[in-house]
Amino acid sequence: MQQKKFEQLKMNICVFSSSSNAIPDVYFREAEKLGKLIGEGGHTLINGGANVGLMEAITVAAGKAGAKTIGIIPERLNGFSLASANAHEVIITADMQERKAKMREISDAFVAMPGGFGTLEEILEVMTLRQLSYHKKPIVFLNTNNFYKYLFKQFEVSYTEMFAKEIYRELFHIAGNAGEVLNYLLNYTPVELDRKWFVVPHKKKY
């Protein structure tokens, strides 16, 4: 029943990704595959709305495959002529904070493709809000070319050193390719997270 429910649902899928044109072709190919699957599934693509890098690649691919595409870009970047002409709708926000808030508001799911500091900030904020139960939407890392391997190793340090609970592994899913991303989203069932803080002995006062 759960799978059928999600297969019938047309999602607004937010994809955070690189705005660089200098990165290897393997990342562009995966962005095009993901965009194609989003379009073929009848979903809507939400992204940063730029006309460069993986953002533009997935916008073009999704649009060609039948997806509605919505780009959300801050006024400052729009002033640099960076808004995609291939997006069906471009929403211009006052700043980056408003941009991220709008993306979270209208999206049903979040996917992080490989990207730089902006992509990391966006996906980690979404994860933190999920951890604090502000939402229960699915979060996926598309780990093309094992791009995020060192980030996941850092997460392991957080679990081992008790900066994060083991249950927080359920905050997100790691997908190796675009097909795995869509399969996870279509079969997603939110996990109830432990909202209690760590119980630890009182620290000695010095």
Answer whether residue 124 is part of any domain: yes
- Report yes or no on 206 lying in a domain: no
CA dihedral 106, 142, 185, 165 (to 10 degrees): -90
Q: Which among 26, 36, 11 is positioned nearest to 114, based on CA atoms?
A: 26
Separation CA 125–CA 203 (nearest Å): 30
pLDDT value, residue 80 = 84
Examine residue 111 and state whether it is found in any structural domain, yes or no: yes
Task: Identify any residues that bridge with 142 across adjacent strands, giving them in sequence order.
Answer: 175
* CA gap 44, 67 in Å, rounded: 5
Q: What is the spatial distance between Cα 176 and Cα 140, in angstroms, rounded to a whole number?
A: 10
Angle subtended by helix axes 117-131 and 96-106, to nearest 10: 50
List the structure tokens of 21: 């044109």
Residue 199 resides in a domain: no
pLDDT of the residue at 199:
64
- Give the sign of the dihedral formed by CA 114, CA 103, CA 183, CA 35: negative
Host domain of residue 118: 2-186
Return the pLDDT at 198: 63
Dihedral sign (CA 157, 161, 164, 167): positive
**CATH code of the domain covering residue 117:** 3.40.50.450
Q: What is residue 5's predicted lDDT score, i.e. its pLDDT?
A: 45
Q: What is the pTM of this model?
A: 0.90
Q: In this predicted structure, what is the pLDDT of residue 79?
A: 81
CA separation for the pair 57, 52 (Å, rounded): 8
Regions of the chain where pLDDT drops below 70: 1-8, 197-206
Distance in angstroms (rounded) separating the CA atoms of residues 188 and 165: 21
Residue with token string 């803080």: 197
Q: Please indicate, yes or no, if residue 203 is contained in any of the structural domains.
A: no
Query: By C-alpha distance, which of 72, 79, 78 is closest to 55?
Result: 72
Q: How many domains does the chain have?
A: 1
| CA–CA separation, 62 and 142 (whole Å) | 16
Domain-embedded: residue 204: no
Burial classification of residue 159, based on how many CB atoms lie within 10 Å of its CB (0-12 exposed, 13-18 middle, 19 or more buried): middle
Query: Is residue 193, in this structure, part of any structural domain at all?
Result: no
Structure tokens at 143: 């780990």
Does residue 200 lie within any of the structural domains? no
